[in-house]
A and B are shown apart, each in its own frame.
Chain A
Amino acid sequence: MSDSPIAVETHGPELRHHFADVEQQRDAASLGMWLFLATEVMFFGGMFCAYLVYRYWHFHEFAAGSRSLDIYLGTINTAVLICSSLTVALGVRAAQMGKQKLLVVYLLLTLVFGLTFLGIKGKEWYDKYEEHHIPGASFNADDIVKEYPQIPINQQYEQTFFSMYFAMTGLHALHMIIGVGLFTVLLYLALKGRYSANYYTPIENAGLYWHFVDIVWIYLFPLLYLIDRKPLK
């Protein structure tokens, strides 16, 4: 692929031949990943737009619905994801330094945190199911209405809050599952010694993806769980 016989660069098999050098390949992969994250911003953005509109229209129902979510589980989950972002960052660092075993440890820890998040989310969803807060035929928000004797809560509008809750956390969870899948593959390849200080681009870019999913949750947490937690008079 190199035309001049002078520039004989010893490179690994990872260099794809339409690139002039590893540097160009790395820069291309990085830009590509950031552009993909930009598309994800817009993807989630559409749901944030719907949330914004309906929170503006039905604030009391949104506040009431928000209170019915478990703030402890939500906060713990936020902490879990932040821990996972730390392990991702430390994993990339381990790869940069060529420390293969350490990389494997951090990838594993990331997976543990990711699965923990999904487990807690599953529990939350199950609680909603038990409380009849899943939109549809069996939706029943009498318990929420009872909490707000002075404010008329429209149960139909309350469904809209929960529709947005499930749609947004569902889309987020789907991205987490994809992330877990990605990191499982990375773990497998790392165990086979695929990554080194010279080549760790997939780790870096998958890390960017994981951090992005964390950032989405950083916004979802206050928007869904903390709409109005002021003590009721």
Chain B
Amino acid sequence: MSERILSSKLYIGIWATLMCLTVITAVVSFVDLGPFNTVVALVIATIKASLVVLFFMHVRYTHERMTKVVIVAAFFFLLLLLALSMADYTTRFLA
């Protein structure tokens, strides 16, 4: 696999970013953004998750194409489950 060894500075930088984002997401939840509170919270969570995946889990530096395929596939099928289920729930009591 001869993956490169990342610098500890990079890891600490990512860690610091994650900690900041955690504080931000908690604080922002007290601000009234209407329906966007949920959106902001999920966007921040996704950024945090992406940082973990890309840097802590080395996906940013991997030569393995299959790793990215597996990650995309997993989220794609999860999305299918959520979207098609909600297609039922959001249209059940119309009219």
| A interface residues (Cβ-Cβ under 8 A, vs B) | 23, 26-27, 30-31, 34-35, 37-38, 41-42, 45-46, 48-49, 52-53, 56-57, 71, 74-75, 78-79, 82-83, 85-86, 88-90, 93, 96-97, 207-208, 211, 214-215, 218-219, 221-223, 226-231
Known: A75-B22, A211-B56. A219 touches B5 (CB 8 A): no
Do A38 and B73 touch across chains, with their CB atoms under 8 A apart? yes
A122 → B minimal CB distance (Å)? 21
The residue on B at minimum CB distance from A216 is B49
Q: Is the interface of A mostly helix, strand, loop or mixed?
A: helix
Contacts of B3 in A (CB 8 A): 96
A53 CB to nearest chain B CB (Å): 5
B70 A78 Cβ-Cβ under 8 A: no
Q: Mark B32-66, 1 if CB is under 8 A from A, else 0.
A: 10000110011011001100110111000000101
Interchain CB contact under 8 A, B15 and A82: yes
Q: In whole angstroms, what is the CA distance A222 to B30 when docked? A: 12
In contact, B78 and A48 (Cβ under 8 angstroms): yes
Whether A45 contacts B81 in the complex (CB less than 8 A), given A86-B11, A222-B25, comes out as yes
A-chain residues with CB within 8 Å of residue B8 when the two chains form the complex: 90, 93
| A182 → B minimal CB distance (Å) | 16
Q: Which residue of B lies closest to A227 (CB)?
A: B38
Q: Is the CB of B70 within 8 A of A35?
A: yes
With A96-B5, A218-B49 already in contact, 5 other A-B pairs whose C-beta atoms are closer than 8 Å: A31-B70, A38-B71, A56-B90, A75-B26, A230-B32
Q: Is the CB of B1 within 8 A of A27?
A: yes
- Chain A residues with CB under 8 Å of B64's CB are 27, 30-31
With A26-B1, A230-B32 known to touch, is A38 a contact of B26 (CB < 8 Å)? no
CB pair B82–A34 under 8 Å, yes or no, is no
Q: Is A34 touching B49 in the complex (CB atoms < 8 A)?
A: no
**In-complex Cβ contact of A219 among B11, B22, B30, B45 (8 A):** B45
What are the residues of chain A within 8 A of B41 when measuring CB–CB?
Answer: 222-223, 226
Is there an interface contact between B74 and A37, defined as CB atoms closer than 8 Å? yes
Are the CB atoms of B45 and A218 closer together than 8 Å? yes
Among A31, A97, A229, chain B packs the most CB atoms within 10 A around the CB of A229
8 contacts between A and B (CB under 8 A): A79-B19, A85-B52, A86-B11, A93-B6, A96-B5, A215-B53, A218-B52, A230-B30
Residue in B closest to A231 when the chains form the complex, CB atoms: B30
> Smallest distance from the beta carbon of A61 to chain B beta carbons, Å?
16
Given known contacts A52-B86, A75-B23, A214-B52, A41 and B57 CB-to-CB distance under 8 angstroms? no
Docked complex Cα distance between A83 and B30 (Å): 25
**Cβ proximity bits B69-94 to A, threshold 8 Å, 1 near / 0 not:** 01101110110011001100110000
Chain B residue, CB-CB nearest to A31: B66
Selected from A53, A83, A93, the residue in CB contact (under 8 A) with B86 is: A53
Indicate whether A78 sits within 8 Å of B15 (C-beta atoms), given known contacts A45-B81, A85-B56. Answer: no
